[in-house]
């Protein structure tokens, strides 16, 4: 039987998947903000639990005709723990700082991956990717500049978002290690289940209620499970079979642009001149990273 990763590479399929993933994950910050007053850990945990309920039947059906290596489940469990750290810290940061700043800092993942590539020599960034990374750093610095001087909770929110970025970088590296053994559906189902359990157990130990606070909150969390998680993150996991984690991570730098725009339209969070310029520069960086 053929591995799930044996699908023939198509540039159109790859770039289409990346665009769909970035558009999908850009909605996450808005969905979580609208899901308040449910505690952040519970929001993120329920989101992954709902996603896993959809993913496991698909994984089971696909595994009937596609070989699934035992490594997929082992690596998926590790990835799930990283999911718990990534989503737990990032969703918490959204409650402490602006959407633009939180999403900007949590997408610092490519910088971590670039440093890893230099230190290990594995998936070392090309000169084009370094230029894209340098351009992106300028762009995201301008977007995040709104929090300068705010202090207090905003600083804690920024630090939590950065921790989330590091966790996502390691998640992409774990996904990449599977290479031709990757079975996207089984991997994603395992990761979401373990990530959900890690956050909900932590929430329980902290004495937090484990259910959404209101019916409306549940619907927003459901939207976060269906769109950013099932579409966005599944496509990103698929994409690292065909490109380095740094390249895929750089593509996700389009998320702060989309999130800042949605924050302005849906939440009435102002987008100042610096944010507008930063968004434009970041989009240039994404284009530079993706164009061969």
Domain ranges of the chain: 29-290
Position 147 scores a pLDDT of 59
CA 122 to chain centre: 22
For residue 276, whether the previous peptide bond is cis, meaning omega lies within 30 degrees of 0, is no
What is the token pair recorded at 39? 């505690």
The answer to whether 183 and 72 have CB atoms below 8 angstroms apart is: yes
For residue 162, the tally of other CB atoms under 10 A from its CB is 18
CA 278 to chain centre: 20
**Cut 0.85: pTM above it:** no
The answer to whether 155 and 42 have CB atoms below 8 angstroms apart is: no
Which of these, 218, 260, 219, 254, lies nearest to 236 by C-alpha position? 254
Pairwise CA distance, residues 248 & 240, whole Å: 7
Position 155 scores a pLDDT of 74
pLDDT in tens, the chain (292 residues): 444 544 555 777 888 888 899 899 889 889 998 999 999 999 999 999 999 999 999 999 888 877 778 888 999 999 999 989 998 998 888 888 777 777 777 877 777 777 777 777 776 667 777 787 788 778 777 766 655 555 567 778 878 988 998 998 888 888 877 766 778 888 989 999 999 999 999 999 999 999 999 999 999 999 999 999 889 988 888 887 777 777 787 777 778 778 878 888 887 777 677 767 877 787 777 677 666 5
CA 237 to chain centre: 10
Pairwise CA distance, residues 273 & 142, whole Å: 9
CA 80 to chain centre: 13
Pairwise CA distance, residues 47 & 87, whole Å: 10
Pairwise CA distance, residues 231 & 139, whole Å: 26
Position 39 scores a pLDDT of 93
Q: Look at residue 213 and give its three-state secondary structure.
A: coil
The residue count of the chain comes to 292
Which of these, 281, 233, 186, 178, lies nearest to 25 by C-alpha position? 233
For residue 86, the tally of other CB atoms under 10 A from its CB is 25
Pairwise CA distance, residues 95 & 87, whole Å: 13
């Amino acid at each position: 039987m053929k591995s799930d990763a044996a699908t023939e590479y198509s540039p159109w399929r790859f770039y289409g998947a990346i665009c769909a993933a970035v558009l999908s994950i850009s909605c996450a910050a808005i969905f979580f903000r609208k899901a308040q007053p449910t505690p952040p850990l519970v929001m993120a945990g329920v989101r992954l639990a709902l996603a896993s309920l959809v993913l496991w039947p698909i994984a089971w059906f696909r595994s009937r005709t596609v070989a699934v290596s035992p490594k997929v489940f082992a690596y998926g469990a590790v990835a799930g723990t990283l999911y718990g750290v990534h989503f737990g810290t990032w969703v918490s940061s959204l409650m402490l700082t602006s959407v633009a700043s939180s999403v900007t800092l949590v997408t610092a993942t490519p910088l971590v991956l670039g440093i890893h590539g230099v230190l290990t020599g594995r998936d070392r960034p090309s000169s084009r990717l370094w230029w894209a990374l340098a351009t992106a750093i300028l762009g995201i610095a301008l977007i995040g500049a709104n929090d300068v001087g705010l202090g207090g909770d905003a600083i804690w929110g920024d630090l939590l978002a950065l921790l989330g970025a590091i966790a996502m970088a390691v998640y992409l590296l774990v996904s990449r290690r599977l290479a031709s053994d990757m079975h996207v559906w089984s991997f994603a189902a395992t990761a979401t289940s373990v990530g959900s359990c890690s956050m909900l157990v932590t929430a329980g130990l902290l004495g937090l209620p484990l259910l959404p606070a209101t019916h409306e909150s549940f619907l927003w969390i459901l939207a976060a499970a269906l769109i950013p998680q099932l579409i966005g993150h599944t496509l990103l996991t698929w994409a690292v079979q065909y490109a380095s984690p740094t390249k895929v991570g750089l593509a996700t730098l389009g998320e702060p642009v989309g999130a800042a725009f949605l924050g302005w339209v849906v939440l009435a969070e102002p987008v100042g001149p610096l944010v507008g310029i930063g968004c434009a520069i970041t989009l240039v960086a994404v284009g530079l990273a993706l164009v061969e």
